[in-house]
Amino acid sequence: MSTTADLHIHNPVEDVLRKERIPTIWCPGCGIGTTVNSFAAALLGQDIDLKKTAIVSGIGCSGRVSGYMALDSFHTTHGRAIPFATGLKLANPELNVIVYSGDGDLTSIGGNHLIHAARRNMDIMVVCVNNMIYAMTGGQAAATTPGNSITTTSPFGSFEPEICLPQLVDAAGAVFVARWTAYHVKQLERTMAKALKKKGFRFIEVLTPCPTLYQRRNNMGDGLAAMVDYKNRSKIRNGAPTYEVALEPGGEIVVGEFVDREREDYLTRMRRQLGTNYSELPPQPEEEEQEGCCSSC
């Protein structure tokens, strides 16, 4: 029987990972690594220049992703991943900028940045790993924590309703909005591959288990139980209106690609308004001369 050494093969994901930093700090049963697999497969399966791809993360468990990816990485302050990414994109418009962060970071602390980046249609891709809680900082209730959940800051059960992220970014003007769970690895890979090629503000929400800080306190079992729950409760509805996709405890999880539309992005509008004086285009590669029969003569 052939072995991996005979066949000279290795885990395909390792091509875009910093192997010296593995094992990761994530808990057993955490789904963030699963989303990284889909992201790595999407990156490798596309004709994308990895030298011109940058990944930006905030603080949190999913903020560690930028440190594990062998891309140009940017680990920023809490909640400010999108402002850093905006600056990066405006300074280097040729970069493909990806923000990979958690729900507490992107939508609770940095909620205003998310809304305004979507409004401006900034040309960045945002992957929001939604584990329903601030995990790394100690299990505090976030804007995405469902009602009646027990967290360290709501020991008698939180009574605040949670935010519906696809509806929020859709209303703010994002051009691509999707939601998957950590169970839908192949669909997530395809959606990420599609989003990587699109221009404008692209938002992908991924629901992942948090066995240590969310499920343990709420008697919801381990990470595997959450994955099986996603499998049983999720329903794929591509193109569903985002006002119908709110998460309800025990109800069905509507997943799919909800919004895919075209809108002028920030840089295009800025260049038209201000001209090239304020927003120079990056130097274009010189076109090869058409004269002559072939390149060798």
Partner 1 sequence: MPKGSVAVTAERCKGCGFCVEFCPTHVLELSNAFNAKGYHPPHMVNAEKCSGCNLCGMYCPDFAIFGYRFPDAKNQKKEA
Site residues for partner 1 per CB under 8 A: 1-4, 7, 9-14, 17, 22-24, 26-34, 36-38, 41, 183, 185-186, 189, 222-224, 227-228
Q: Least Å distance between CB 12 and partner 1?
A: 7
Nearer to partner 1, 24 or 140 (CB): 24
**How remote is the C-alpha of 35 from its chain's centroid?**
9
The smaller minimum CB distance to partner 1, of residues 32 and 267, is found at: 32
Nearer to partner 1, 28 or 282 (CB): 28
Helix (H, G, I), strand (E, B) or coil at 6: helix
154 in helix, strand or coil? strand
The C-alpha angle with vertex 52 and arms to 50 and 54, in degrees rounded to 5, equals: 85
Q: Which is nearer to partner 1, 9 or 281 (by Cβ)?
A: 9
Q: How far is the CB of 191 from partner 1 (least distance, A)?
A: 14
Quick one: 25 or 281, whose CB is closer to partner 1?
25
110 and 121 in contact (C-beta within 8 Å)? no
Q: What is the C-alpha end-to-end distance of the chain, expressed in Å?
A: 52
Which residue is listed with tokens 């057993």? Answer: 28
Residue 48 C-beta: closest distance to partner 1, Å? 19
**Residue 56 identity (one-letter amino acid):** V
Q: Considering the complex, what minimum distance in angstroms separates the CB of residue 24 from partner 1?
A: 6
Report the nearest approach of partner 1 to the CB of residue 189 (Å). 8
Strands of 176-181's sheet in order across: 72-75, 53-57, 96-102, 124-130, 202-207, 176-181, 253-260, 234-236
> Tokens 């924590």 appear where?
145
Q: Which of 164, 153, 88, 173 is nearest to 128 (CA)?
A: 164
174-191 as b/e: b if 16+ CB within 10 A: bbbbbbbbbbbeebbbbb
| CA dihedral over 133, 61, 204, 211, signed as positive or negative | negative
CB closer to partner 1, 33 vs 93: 33
